[in-house]
Amino acid sequence: MSGCKSCGTCGDGHFNPVLSGDDGALKRALYKSMGHTDEQLRRPVIAVVNSYTNATAGHADLNDLTAEVLKGIDEAGGVGMVFGTIAPCDGIAEGHLGMRYILAAREVITSSIEVMMRAHRFDGMVLLGSCDKIVPAMLMAAARLDIPAILVNGGPMYPAEYHGKHWDGNIVTEAIGWKKRGEIDEAEFRHIEDIAEPGPVPAPCMARPIRCAVSQRC
């Protein structure tokens, strides 16, 4: 990795200018309190924006990906520092007051990333997100900041298998109708609920298309 845009590698060996010289001593001390070394702090400082939460299926696997990203940054000669942002789920917000907050959350996510990036003056960032408002929010933040950025998606949700057919999570809404018409009983309805979402990764409604679009265009 080469030097920063403004001045190249700083005179005392620090890539990041805010960590350089006497003025950077307190900042270095704060990072050292968390275990970072002098050698690490001379490298490019790369933010890892992790939208992990165990409250949203599409983001529940992102801690594992974050660990791999941190390894990659280290191997490439940088030092990774992780911070989080919110990731509300459309599916859980649907049908009640919570849905009014979903689109607004996109702006909150974008701004929260911008605030943290500007405050710490990171040299670049890796964004980890999956769902259909979170991914665009992260791209909006990357556009605002205009620094090196990479987006890493979570993996796809595999289909459920029911009576020899593959289904996505919408089988649950189908099953509500089947139950009302008397085509399935309560036990079968609960079985469908149990198998409908085979893993904690993004659902195939809007989350998968937006991730595919990003992969094709970026």
Mark 68-96 as b/e (b = at least 16 C-beta within 10 Å): ebbebbeeeebbbbbebbbbbbbbebeee
Q: Which of 21-25, 117-121, 130-134 has the lowest mean pLDDT?
A: 130-134
For residue 1, the model assigns a pLDDT of 46
pLDDT of 176 above 60: yes
Within 10 A of 218 (CB to CB), how many other CB atoms are there?
A: 10
Domain boundaries, the chain: 37-157+201-217, 160-195
Mean pLDDT over each residue of the chain, to the nearest integer: 89
Alpha-carbon distance of 69 to 74, in angstroms, equals 9
**Superfamily of structural domain 37-157+201-217:** Response regulator (3.40.50.2300)
Do 128 and 50 form a contact (C-beta atoms < 8 A)? yes
Instruction: In whole angstroms, give the CA distance from residue 123 to residue 140.
Output: 17
Residue 186 has pLDDT above 70, yes or no: yes
Q: What pLDDT band is residue 121 in, cutting at 50, 70 and 90?
A: very high
Query: Which pLDDT value is given to residue 11?
Result: 58
Contact 80, 48 (CB under 8 A): yes
Residue 2 pLDDT level (bands cut at 50, 70, 90)? very low
- Is it the case that residue 70 has pLDDT exceeding 70? yes
**C-alpha 188: how far from chain center:** 35
In the chain the first and final C-alpha atoms are separated, in Å, by: 21
pLDDT top residue among 8 and 108? 108
Average pLDDT over residues 38-50: 98
pLDDT bucket at 206, cuts 50 / 70 / 90? low
* Secondary structure of 173-205 in HEC code, one letter for each residue: HHHHHHHHCCCCCHHHHHHHHHHCCCCCCCCCC
Q: What span, in angstroms and rounded, lies between the C-alpha atoms of 90 and 207? A: 10
- Answer yes or no: are the C-beta atoms of 64 and 200 closer than 8 Å: no
Tell me the whole-structure pTM to 2 decimals.
0.86
Q: Would you say residue 35 has pLDDT above 80? A: yes
Q: What pLDDT shows up at residue 5?
A: 46
41 closest CA partner among 16, 22, 67, 74: 16
Is 74 in contact with 80 (CB distance < 8 Å)? yes
**Residue 125, pLDDT score:** 98
Q: pLDDT category, 156, cuts 50, 70, 90?
A: confident
d(CA 19, CA 11): 11
Q: Which residue has the higher pLDDT, 195 or 209?
A: 195
